[in-house]
Amino acid sequence: MEKHEKAVAVALWLGGGSEKEELSFAELYSLAATAGVQVLAGFTQNRSEIDNRYYIGPGKAEEIGDYVRESEIDTVIFDRELSPSQVKNLERIIPAKIIDRSELIMDIFAQRASSREGQLQVELAQLHYQLPKLMGRGRDLSRLAGGIGTRGPGETKLEVDRRRIRQRIHVLEQELKKLEKHRALLRKRRDRRRIFQVALVGYTNSGKSTLLNQLTKAEAYTADILFATLDPLSRRLETEHNTIVFTDTVGFISGLPHHLIAAFKGTLEVVVNADLLVHVVDLSHPDMAMQIEEVNKVLRELGCLEKDQIIAANKIDMLPDLTSQELAGKFRDLPYVPVSALTGLNTDKLLAAVEAHTEPWEIIRVLLPLEIFRNLSSANLGSLLPLEFTNDDRVRVEAELPARIAATLRQYETEK
Ligand SMILES: Nc1nc2c(ncn2[C@@H]2O[C@H](COP(=O)(O)OP(=O)(O)OP(=O)(O)O)[C@@H](O)[C@H]2O)c(=O)[nH]1
Ligand SMILES: [Mg+2]
């Protein structure tokens, strides 16, 4: 980029500036920094509802307009998606380029995409997003002449003419179809060899690439920035019992533009076709619960929320005081393994949990000594439903476990 664009960030707070809203605003700053924009000021406004015409209140818009003129701001970034008419009205008051969170995210993707397929996908998403914004309103196209929100992948600059956008969308879709066909062929070949597929999914910056590297000695790019990974990277791991392929994927983020998910469906096929998802979670993040929720939202959109999932509760090294009770409370009924992808702590346990999924499972009813029951529960290798605690320190359990582990419990079996 020629020079650092100067920007301000704007958030409308309907929840009175809750912790969630503040974290989301902080994330907008990180996104801007990742896009290479300098955010000079942040404006927030508490309101009970969105203003139809300006999104924020007109008075606030005037205030931002004044600041923009004084400080020669190039870009105003809004925390949420604006309607085309809101952009148009805001542009009358604020003499700067107005973009929203989605455009910012897509801009970052455009800068980062390195594979041919990634580039096609991002450009397609951007054009789909832009099209309705150009319809029925005279956005001052000269303002769109450069900088974030207008940069396509590689050297391209985004098209601003509607007819040409439609043509370009058609070309991109055709090319992507060809690439998809090619990938389907590769997949068929892999399926024939019955290799177990694990997809690493999770919020951006949770540590997916670091975990891939730790597990498979891969050399995936990791960095403390958002969207370090855009192109999926697969690595094969030969274990004692199996061959497992792990694939690192693009990170998810709150408000990931729908068009982007749609465009990335091809790449995210690894998630759709995975036998198991390892959901990497950043324990050290103040709003981990929101991040999990957002990842699940995207998984739902991809139609794979029902897939088997193991949570890799990552960055445990940063929380030396966390007790196992506190940890358990965070994940309720989902199987999880606390790990540090960075130091390698417990990644062997995670691998054991993954391996357990590569085998057939079995449901058995057993009467277990309490000690064995506790060990099994803490190993998190399957699901254990305690039915009754007896007076002689044993527990009647219905267990769903990998066949290999179930076999070791045969002696405690109570019925077939
Ligand atoms: N302390 C600590 N830091 C970690 C751990 N795992 C990853 N990190 C750091 O977290 C940052 C993000 O790691 P990545 O592996 O790039 O995260 P990612 O999920 O692949 O991120 P995207 O590709 O951007 O979605 C890096 O600075 C890592 O060094 C961990 O277990 N402990
Ligand atoms: Mg990554």
Q: Rounded to the nearest whole angstrom, what is the distance from the C-alpha of residue 378 to the centroid of ligand 1?
A: 26
**Residues found in the chain:** 416
DSSP 206: S
Q: Would you say the CB of residue 342 lies under 6 angstroms from ligand 1?
A: yes
Q: Is the pLDDT at 193 greater than 70, yes or no?
A: no
> Please, are residues 267 and 313 in contact by the beta-carbon 8 Å criterion?
no
Q: Rounded to the nearest whole angstrom, what is the distance from the C-alpha of residue 208 to the centroid of ligand 1?
A: 7
The ligand 1 atom nearest the CA atom of 251: 25
The ligand 1 atom nearest the CA atom of 250: 25
Nearest in space to 201 (alpha carbons), one of 269, 257, 284? 269
User: How many angstroms separate the CA atoms of 200 and 232, rounded?
Assistant: 10
CA 248 to chain centre: 11
Tens of pLDDT along 143-179?
455 677 777 776 666 666 778 888 889 999 999 888 8
Half-sphere exposure of 61 (CA within 13 A, CB side): 22
* Residue 142: per-residue pLDDT: 43
User: How many angstroms separate the CA atoms of 401 and 406, rounded?
Assistant: 6
Q: Would you say the CB of residue 345 lies under 6 angstroms from ligand 1?
A: no
For residue 22, what are its two tokens? 């503040």
Half-sphere exposure of 378 (CA within 13 A, CB side): 8
Beta-sheet pairing, 309-314 with 336-338: parallel
Q: Is the pLDDT at 137 greater than 50, yes or no?
A: no
Bigger pLDDT: 92 vs 186: 92
Return phi, psi of residue 333, to 5°. Answer: -90, 0
Q: Rounded to the nearest whole angstrom, what is the distance from the C-alpha of residue 356 to the centroid of ligand 2?
A: 25
Q: Would you say the CB of residue 205 lies under 6 angstroms from ligand 1?
A: yes
| pLDDT-wise least confident of 20-24, 231-235, 366-370 | 231-235
> Please, are residues 15 and 21 in contact by the beta-carbon 8 Å criterion?
yes
For residue 164, what are its two tokens? 């040409």
Q: Is the pLDDT at 8 greater than 90, yes or no?
A: yes
Residue nearest to atom 2 of ligand 1 (CA): 315
For residue 229, what are its two tokens? 């990974």
- What is the helix (H) or strand (E) element at residue 224, kind and residue range? none
Nearest in space to 310 (alpha carbons), one of 269, 351, 270, 250? 351
DSSP 82: P
What is each CA distance from 271 to 133, 170, 308, in whole angstroms? 31, 26, 11
pTM of the model: 0.78
CATH fold for the domain made of 194-357? Rossmann fold (3.40.50)
CA 70 to chain centre: 38
Question: Mapping DSSP to helix (H, G, I), strand (E, B) and coil, where does residue 57 land?
Answer: coil
| List of long-range contacts for 403-406, beta carbons under 8 Å, 24+ apart | 403/359, 403/360, 403/361, 403/362, 404/356, 404/359, 405/356, 405/376, 405/381, 406/361, 406/362, 406/364
Tens of pLDDT along 286-332?
989 999 999 999 899 888 888 889 999 999 999 989 888 888 888 87
Q: What share of the chain is helix, strand, coil (3-state, %, to 5)?
A: 45, 25, 35
* Residue 416: per-residue pLDDT: 55
Helix axes 208-216 and 347-357, enclosed angle (nearest 10) = 80
CB neighbourhood size of 312 (10 A): 30
User: How many angstroms separate the CA atoms of 199 and 197, rounded?
Assistant: 7
> Please, are residues 217 and 237 in contact by the beta-carbon 8 Å criterion?
no
Q: Is the pLDDT at 44 greater than 90, yes or no?
A: yes
Furthest-apart CA pair in the chain: how many Å?
Answer: 81
Residue nearest to atom 16 of ligand 1 (CA): 222
The stretch 102-131 carries a mean pLDDT of: 86
User: Residue 281 class from Cβ within 10 Å (0-12 exposed, 13-18 middle, 19+ buried)?
Assistant: buried
Query: Does 5-145 carry CATH code 3.40.50.11060?
Result: yes
Beta-sheet pairing, 361-369 with 97-100: unpaired
> Please, are residues 159 and 209 in contact by the beta-carbon 8 Å criterion?
no
Q: Pick left, alpha or beta for residue 291 (phi over 0 → left; psi -120 to 50 → alpha; otherwise beta).
A: alpha
For residue 179, what are its two tokens? 């690439």
For tokens 């690595």, name the residue. 235
Sequence ranges of the domains in the chain: 5-145, 194-357, 361-415
* Confidence band for 251, pLDDT divided at 50, 70 and 90: confident
Q: Would you say the CB of residue 340 lies under 6 angstroms from ligand 1?
A: yes
* Residue 3: per-residue pLDDT: 65
Question: Mapping DSSP to helix (H, G, I), strand (E, B) and coil, where does residue 128 land?
Answer: helix
Q: Would you say the CB of residue 227 lies under 6 angstroms from ligand 1?
A: yes
Tens of pLDDT along 54-83?
999 999 999 999 999 999 999 999 998 888
* Residue 135: per-residue pLDDT: 58
Query: Does 361-415 carry CATH code 3.30.70?
Result: yes
CB neighbourhood size of 412 (10 A): 18
The stretch 14-23 carries a mean pLDDT of: 91
Q: Would you say the CB of residue 215 lies under 6 angstroms from ligand 1?
A: no
> Please, are residues 376 and 368 in contact by the beta-carbon 8 Å criterion?
yes
User: What percentage of residues in the chain have a pLDDT greater than 70?
Assistant: 92
Q: Rounded to the nearest whole angstrom, what is the distance from the C-alpha of residue 105 to the centroid of ligand 2?
A: 15
Q: Rounded to the nearest whole angstrom, what is the distance from the C-alpha of residue 228 to the centroid of ligand 1?
A: 9
Helix axes 84-93 and 58-71, enclosed angle (nearest 10) = 50
Q: Is the pLDDT at 386 greater than 90, yes or no?
A: no
Q: Rounded to the nearest whole angstrom, what is the distance from the C-alpha of residue 51 to the centroid of ligand 1?
A: 38
Tens of pLDDT along 337-359?
999 999 999 999 999 999 888 87
Q: Which ligand is nearest to the CA of 225?
A: 1
Q: Would you say the CB of residue 341 lies under 6 angstroms from ligand 1?
A: yes
DSSP 317: G
Q: Do domains 194-357 and 361-415 have the same CATH topology?
A: no
